[in-house]
Chain A
């Protein structure tokens, strides 16, 4: 099929677009987009509602966006509020505001400074978090680097390196009274270092359990370092070079 010419579209004020292939879409007022769209950039400065699937190379939300379908984007930057009903495949996900995805998220890199809620699994190569999140399924990331500034939870966590610390600095001033804690059933990774985490079981090669942790069972293969202020029910060493 020949590449269609991609026309730019702009909604200023109150307007509607129909689905199709576009170049750059900008919504400055209130836009409703009916049908699946495929575009290069999708920028929302006001409010926009999509019925159907969105494919965009770059999507930037400064206002509020609702997608009643699934999302495929090279880059999604959420400065405002975004909600996706189904799953999302996003190369790089940057959340400074509030982002909610009903299904699962597959991504290369996630930078979280706001709030992220995922109904299914979140899979990414690197997850760097300074905010709060809630993941209904598995958080699977090569590198997980969290600084807790609020409540964080995932059903289970798996990866190569997992590091969880208490957030500090200016960011934490605004969330002084928030419950800064990670709650999960299990953490499984090669290198695990935790603070302020509640988990039933932690499994890893090298495990460090720090301040504020409440862990039922630690299973480790090489090193285990409990620090002051950690509560661990039981720590067990396994003779398994693999784990």
Chain B
């Protein structure tokens, strides 16, 4: 779990006003799930994941100083996933993912046509799992199926790819990012990958 910062301390540290904070929230610059409500002895208070939110505010401020509009900033920090498309060849040329991942992807999917951004996100998620060695090529196939069938169902809401192994058996699934998960002792959580962060990193590289 990330270290948290209270709203009051955040405003102080980032030197912003309530008005700015609420405006940025409305414009989708600061995601809903970073506003974490907790009970304290003074009643309910709102907390934020400290490092993430400070980094984000830094980015918003630096873009504002370059005269970017709030909508431009929203596109940069929370990209609209539907618009970008790319062919397999382009993905290969720009070296966005490894050849192995692309090969696996082409085996499962019809790779002739242009990939939409969501598919590239899936591909890069698969790629990062393959690279860390958490997932074998063979298991990658089932991960890919889990992603392909279920990622669109989240309709852009933040979700995580979860990969679990138990006594040689593996299982992959998608859960919403806020979900807390507990496993039986014999099961091991191999990887939990935030797809929204994948998409953000990817959009920064495509740009």
Residues B1-56 near A (CB distance < 8 A): 11-12, 14-19, 21-23, 25-26, 43-44
A201 to chain B, nearest CB (A): 8
**Is A190 touching B17 in the complex (CB atoms < 8 A)?**
yes
Query: What would 17 A/B residue contacts be, using CB atoms closer than 8 Å?
Result: A123-B26, A124-B26, A141-B26, A142-B23, A158-B22, A159-B22, A188-B18, A188-B22, A190-B18, A190-B19, A240-B12, A241-B15, A242-B11, A242-B14, A242-B15, A243-B12, A243-B18
A-B interface, 3 closest residue pairs, ranked by CB to CB distance from nearest: A160-B19, A190-B19, A158-B22
CB of A159 to closest CB in B, whole Å? 5
Residues on B with beta carbons closer than 8 Å to the beta carbon of A111: none
Q: Is A113 engaged at the interface, CB distance under 8 Å to the other chain?
A: no
Which residues of chain A have C-beta atoms less than 8 A from B25's C-beta?
Answer: 123, 140
Complex Cα gap A204–B22 (Å): 13
A158 to nearest B CB, angstroms? 4
How many angstroms from the CA of A241 to the CA of B20 in the assembled complex?
Answer: 13
In Å, the complex CA distance between A51 and B19 comes to 38
Q: In the complex, what's the smallest C-beta–C-beta distance from B26 to chain A, in angstroms?
A: 5
Which residues of A pack against B, CB within 8 Å? 106, 123-125, 140-142, 158-161, 185, 188-190, 200, 203-205, 240-243
Chain A-chain B contacts (Cβ-Cβ < 8 Å), number: 51
With a cutoff of 8 Å between Cβ atoms, the chain A residues found around residue B18 in the complex are: 158-160, 188-190, 203-204, 243
Residues of A within 8 A of B44 (CB): 185
Give the docked Cα–Cα distance between A106 and B26 (Å).
8
Taking the nearest CB of chain A, how far is it from the CB of B57, in angstroms?
A: 11
Closest to B46 in A: A156
Q: In the assembled complex, how far is the CB of residue B50 from the closest CB belonging to chain A, in whole angstroms?
A: 17
Residues of B within 8 A of A (CB): 11-12, 14-19, 21-23, 25-26, 43-44
Given contacts A240-B12, A243-B11, contact A189 B19 (CB under 8 A): yes
A120 to chain B, nearest CB (A): 10
Q: Is the interface of A mostly helix, strand, loop or mixed?
A: strand
| Chain B proximity of A52: nearest CB distance (Å) | 15
On whether A242 and B26 interact (CB within 8 A), knowing A185-B44, A200-B43, the answer reads no
Q: Could you list 19 further interchain pairs (A-B, Cβ under 8 angstroms) beyond the known A159-B19, A243-B17?
A: A123-B25, A123-B26, A140-B26, A142-B22, A158-B18, A158-B21, A158-B22, A159-B18, A159-B22, A160-B18, A160-B19, A160-B22, A188-B18, A190-B19, A203-B18, A240-B12, A242-B12, A242-B16, A243-B12
CA distance A205 to B21 in the complex (A): 14
Nearest Cβ on chain A to B25's Cβ, whole angstroms: 6
State the CA gap A53–B14 with chains docked (Å). 40
A96 to chain B, nearest CB (A): 25
Give, as a whole number of angstroms, the nearest-CB distance from B89 to chain A. 25
> Given the complex of chains A and B, what is the CA–CA distance between A143 and B147 in angstroms?
42
Of A106, A140, A243, the contact of B22 (CB 8 Å cutoff): A140
- Smallest CB-CB separation from A124: which chain B residue? B26
Kindly provide the distance from the CB of B29 to the nearest chain A CB, expressed in whole angstroms.
13
Inside 8 A of A160's CB, which chain B residues have their CB?
18-19, 22-23
Partner of A142, one of B14, B15, B16, B26: B26
When C-beta atoms are compared, the residue in chain A nearest to B17 turns out to be A190
Contacts of B26 in A (CB 8 A): 106, 123-125, 140-142
Max chain A Cβ within 10 angstroms of own Cβ: one of B14, B18, B26, B44 = B18
Residues from chain A with a CB closer than 8 A to the CB of B12 are: 240, 242-243
Q: How far, in Å, is B83 (CB) from chain A's closest CB? A: 16
